[in-house]
Structure 1
Amino acid sequence: MATRDKTSERGRIQVTGFDASIVTERDELVDWQAAEGSKSGTSRRAKAWYRFKQNRSAFLGIGILAFMVFVAIFARPIEVAVAGQSIPIQPIQLAPHSTDTSLIASNTPPNAEHPFGTTQLGRDILSQVMVGARFSLSIGVIAVGLAVLVGVPMGAIAGYYGGWVDEAIMRVVDVLYAFPFLVLAIVIIAILGQGFWKMILALVIVGWIGYARLIRGEILSVKENEYVMAAKALGARDSSIIFKHIVPNAMAPVIVQATLNVGTIVLAAAALGFLGLGLQPGSPEWGTILSGGRDAVIAGRWWVTVFPGLAIVFFVLAVNLVGDGVRDAMDPQDTGGDTGGGFR
């Protein structure tokens, strides 16, 4: 009888691991791993923020930028026209004088009443520099923001689809890259004419190509990762894969480049204004102020160009300090102290 029982049990497959307690423990393990995976992105961001806080030069740049933004906002009251009436949004005026002409105080060197002196037309240079911060800073931020909004989708589409789509977009980028940045901007402004938004449009047209090429190179490597394959297997649309899964994981170098390019765009806008291709003459934009003071330098009135030039120098320096800090904080190759500092 015992032999028969052993014979009947022979050949049966015993499968273990379906015990309820074991399955519950396995589910808890999976939940823990998912929670750890969700925390990894937050951990990387926390490490990047920690590294950024250790960079004193970056915080010095933030301090300079914060001061300039404060001056730009409160230099002169801000009003909005609604139904033919002007409604003040910001009533404070820090600028000591108006930016209008006043021949009474023409060519005045720096003194107690005019700390930065006046121009040939009697405009107070300190007030011009303070009000001009609105134009220069807004040109830099708006132009870079629009260039990113144009360049990132174009580069993302080119890198994801490849083939003739990639060829068409990249050939346009190559053609635009054949022209020097400032020369191409001058040609576009010569066609469009002078003006605030026309200058921004010209800077966007010549600025988006850098972001398109940068994001394309990042996406060529990111799109082969496992989570992209999983999204495709689950039937996600291409637009969802590109802008929800791929682009967010490839934006770190774009953010660094955009931060640094704000200073470059402000410098380019000042150069265009100095060449007489920026805003209308008399506008309190830093480059336009420099353009109006070219003859003053020859006549020995140094203050007309020194103070607007210093404003440009300090702004570009502050942007570069912040940009370097952001680059060091988001560097995926950083191995100092912590690992996994990147955003991939």
Structure 2
Amino acid sequence: MIVLWTDALLFLLVFALLGLGLYLRGKAHLHRPLQKITSSKTGMVSLLVLVFFVVVALLDSVHFKSDSDTSNEIISLIDYWATPLRSQSEKTYSAPFAFTLYGKEMMLQADGSTQWGYPRLVFGGRHLQDPDTQHLSDILQKLLLALGQGALLAGMVLLLIVGLAKLSRATGLANPTSKTLGAVLFVLIAVLYALIYLSGFYHVFGTDKVGEDVFYQAIKSIRTGLVIGTLTTLVMLPMAIIFGILAGFFRGWADDVIQYIYTTLNSIPSVLLIAASILVVQVYMSNHEADFTSVVVRSDTRLLFLCLILGVTNWTGLCRLLRAETLKLREMEYVQAAQALGVRQGTILIRHILPNVMHIVLISVVLDFSSLVLAEAVLSYINIGVDPTTYSWGNMINGARLEMAREPIVWWSLSAAFIFMFALVLAANLFADVVQDAFDPRRALRD
């Protein structure tokens, strides 16, 4: 098993969140906001979609060396399970569910003559004997069969969940939120199964310029988007929390120094700073080629440094919010009483200030996640993002931008990246709105 830096940090973050959830489970002051989140249909459906993306990213973060490959390539569990998709490459572009290439070529016939036309794909639709007459009916039959099998699988999963809930005596299975969540889970499993089933016979999202399956690229890009969003947050949170609280609580020279730091950092164009940092990383890897013999290791190192750079350039906004909130909290009666009683300043910061600013931290983290995912797409589009060999939605968009001007237009790579990125960002934004409403103290007073 091979453990990359981003793999270790991603699993560490997941375990830390699970531990934090268990620790905060019995806290009375969190009962109302958590109940408000669980009672929201929008919030729970968005959380379900986010969990789906997280599961895919975690499976894609378990790396090992392929024994069957003579090159001893480093692959993930997603790569292993999707071996047919990543190995069955075509010559070049093919449209979704097509059985021929997208462009005409000169074809050599069996009798030695040549003909100008659309060559058959090597893998897509190869089971068709007469594709001109069987193509559409075959797709419809396999789609109905896949949806039926997917619905059966989804029903079994839901029955298992209901059975486990009854054994644990969980309540609330009959409320409207649980019914909506069950319906969305049913549709999600059925559609996902149908896509996986159909991908064994066709390229459901077509192929790119080098003939690689676009559906496989979009699935592999999920990990990159989540790593950018989560690990960047892991980098920016300590700096934002520590500097923001210290600036607001101590004021004076400490406040002046911290304000000077983040004001100076904000004065530097972030794109230029990221570009310069990526260039430094590339020069370092070029000068130490012995330490980066694998393409996967090189791309993972660049991805890690991109997270570090984005974290360093994005902590200032949250720091400002925490400084302003701390300036207000330090004047509250309970903080003044603690200072009058001689409580140490470190204890006041940990017990009185930090817990009362965590709602701002939580809301900002969820809101910033979607912007970081979009930032990766923009940076990769201008070639200063992740490594070109890394699967990401930004690289897919960058690769498809030149093909949008050709005739006929190649639209499926851009569409696939848009659909997956739109689903992730929309789910994150909707869940952020629910979290913001639940943890907003002013809404709590109105309720």
TM-score range, shorter chain: 0.7 to 0.9
Query: Aligned-pair distance for 1:56?
Result: 1.7
Q: Which residue does the alignment assign to 1:151?
A: 240
In the TM superposition, residue 225 of structure 1 has moved relative to its aligned partner by: 2.4
Quick one: which amino acid aligns to residue 265 of structure 1? L
Q: Is the 8 A contact 1:150 1:208 kept in 2?
A: yes
Contact 1:72 1:133 in 2 (8 A): yes
How far residue 75 of structure 1 moved from its aligned partner, in angstroms, is: 5.0
Residues 292 and 91 (structure 1), Cα distance of their counterparts in 2 relative to 1, 3 Å cut: closer
Q: Cα–Cα, structure 1 residues 199 and 91, in superposed 2: closer, same or farther, change >3 Å?
A: closer
Offset of 1:331 from its aligned partner?
A: 0.9
8 A contact 1:74–1:92 mirrored in 2:
no
The question of whether the paired residues in 2 share the 8 Å contact of 1:199 and 1:278 is answered with yes
SS in 2 for 1:123: coil
Aligned pairs for 1:161-180 within 5 A = 161-179=250-268
Q: Is 1:333 aligned to residue 333 of structure 2?
A: no
- Gap runs ≥5 in structure 1: 1-40, 339-344
Distance 1:166 1:155 in 2: 9
- Aligned equivalents of 1:250, 1:146: Cα separation in 2: 18
Is the counterpart of residue 224 in structure 1 residue 315 in structure 2?
no
Structure 1: which amino acid aligns with 2:315? W
Please state how far the C-alpha of 1:234 moved relative to its aligned partner.
4.4
Shift in Å at residue 187 of structure 1?
4.8
Map residues 1-344 of structure 1 onto 2, 5 A cutoff: 42-74=27-59, 78-79=63-64, 93-95=80-82, 97=84, 99=86, 102=89, 104-111=90-97, 112-179=201-268, 181-182=270-271, 184-193=273-282, 195-299=302-406, 300-335=409-444, 338=447
TM-score, normalised to structure 2, is 0.60
Shift of 1:214: 1.1
Write the letter of the residue equivalent to 1:170. Answer: Q
Deviations 1:70-127 (A, max 9, x none): 222335853389xxx999995884536454794x342121124211111111221111
Report the secondary structure of 1:63's partner residue.
helix
Pairwise CA distance, 1:337? 6.9
Secondary structure at 1:79 match in 2: strand
Task: Give the share of equivalent positions with the same residue, in percent.
Answer: 29
Separation in 2, partners of 1:287, 1:200:
15
Q: Which amino acid aligns with 1:95?
A: A
Q: What is aligned with 2:8?
A: none
Code of the residue aligned with 2:93 in structure 1: it is: N
> Is the 8 Å Cα contact of residues 228 and 241 (structure 1) preserved in structure 2?
yes
Q: Distance in 2 between matches of 1:212 and 1:144?
A: 13
- Cα drift, residue 277 of structure 1: 1.0
The answer as to whether partners of 2:60 and 2:77 remain within 8 angstroms in 1 is no
TM-score (norm 1): 0.76
Call closer, same or farther: CA 1:95–1:171 in 2, change over 3 Å: same
Q: CA RMSD in A?
A: 3.0
Q: CA deviation at 1:148?
A: 0.9
What letter matches 1:333 in structure 2? R
Judging changes above 3 Å, is the alpha-carbon distance between structure 1 residues 119 and 76 closer, same or farther for their aligned structure 2 residues? farther
The range that moved more, 64-73 or 316-325, is: 64-73
Tell me if structure 2 keeps the 8 A contact 1:116–1:126: yes
For residues 277 and 100 of structure 1, what CA distance do their matches in structure 2 show? 29
Q: Secondary structure at the match of 2:33?
A: helix
Q: Take 1:310 and 1:122, find their aligned partners in 2: how far apart are those partners?
A: 20
Report SS of the residue matched to 1:334.
helix
Specify the SS of the correspondent of 2:317. helix
CA distance in structure 2 between the partners assigned to 1:75 and 1:248 by the alignment: 35
